[in-house]
Chain A
Amino acid sequence: MERNTHPFRLRLNLFDIILLIVAVAVAGGLLWFSARSSQNDQQTPTASTVEYTVLFRRMTPGTSQLIQVGDSLVDTIKNYQLGTVLSIDIQPAVTQVLDQESKTYVDAVVEGYDDVYLTVSASCTQTDDSILVDGGYDLRVGQTTYVRGPGYMGSGPVISIERGE
């Protein structure tokens, strides 16, 4: 049997070259299209600082005194670092009750309990549609937060977020 001892030689005719060019062009087009699609989907997050106010509703008597300016707050569910307390405003707790005579919901003070308004500063990343504190906590007005500080806990809605210009 005769052994094939000829070295390999790549021989391309004109037709093969045209074919290669077309295939490379199509592959390049697909890459360009997928790159453009992913570019449209992504938003570049920007690092900044956000100032927001959270309301601890109806804190039990005496516990609001435990909160101090400078306290670090932590989300009790997933342990996100929610920032540092800048100021504290303690008000009598108020809830809505139905007055059956006037058929109206009215504000009623809950004796002995406090509503505590905490202004907090936190590092965050912002995109066009969200503000993420500590890389993952989605901060929005109306959302209920569950928070712990040094020796106390509280829960209630975020009631304001300072808008960046």
Chain B
Amino acid sequence: MTIMDRNGRLFGKISIIDVIVVLAVVVLAAALYVKTHQPETGVNVTEQYITYQVKMTNQPQYVVDALAVGDQLYDKERSTNGSLGEIIQIDVEPGTQLTSLMDGTIADVPCEDRYNIVLTVRGKGLYNEKDGYMLNRIYALGANSSRNLNTKYAWFTVGVLNVALDDQAAQ
């Protein structure tokens, strides 16, 4: 018995066209499985908690009042894939502003009725040496960057002070 007969059937039973279609369906099914079970970055790693601190300077009292522990942080100007994390601590200190003085110097001088605010935020993401910290796998964040962020209730400009991995893996 030949492998393929004159009608294109394998062992005289199965059409070669049917076999090709079966292979195509199997590839589709495999693609569906990979799409639903693998991380979007294509790297099979578990997300970790990332804790970072951002600072805003010279803010009025109403900005302090508009922030609360538990608020979620967002960036409307960039792709974030959701919340960038939850505010877990708010530190408020007397406000200052970098300014030029008449003696030719530049100094961080006090501002009456203003506050410097440091937010400690905990999000989820990945870290690798090539890309650094990637919140929600897609949002790059590093110390010394400046961002316009918002919660549901407030909008503000911050400088990023530091970013670090938490010890435990995110759920």
Q: How many A-B residue pairs have CB under 8 A?
A: 90
Chain A residue nearest in CB terms to B65: A160
Known contacts A100-B102, A141-B62, A142-B154; A105/B32 CB under 8 A: no
User: Is there an interface contact between B101 and A22, defined as CB atoms closer than 8 Å?
Assistant: no
Name B36-52 residues within 8 Å CB distance of A. Answer: 36
B169 at the interface (CB under 8 A from A): no
Q: Could you say which residues of chain B place their CB within 8 Å of the CB of A128?
A: 72, 152
CB-defined interface of B6-45 with A at 8 Å, one 1/0 digit per residue? 0000000010001001100100110010011000000000
Q: Could you say which residues of chain A place their CB within 8 Å of the CB of B114?
A: 96, 105
Number of interface residues of A (CB under 8 A): 32
CB-defined interface of A20-53 with B at 8 Å, one 1/0 digit per residue? 0011011001100100000000000000000000
Number of interface residues of B (CB under 8 A): 38
User: Is there an interface contact between B32 and A26, defined as CB atoms closer than 8 Å?
Assistant: yes
Chain B residues within CB distance 8 Å of chain A: 14, 18, 21-22, 25, 28-29, 32, 35-36, 58, 60, 62-63, 65-66, 68, 72, 74, 83, 97, 99, 101-102, 107, 109-114, 150-156
Chain A residues within CB distance 8 Å of chain B: 15-16, 19, 22-23, 25-26, 29-30, 33, 96, 98, 100, 103-107, 126, 128-131, 140-143, 157, 159-161, 163
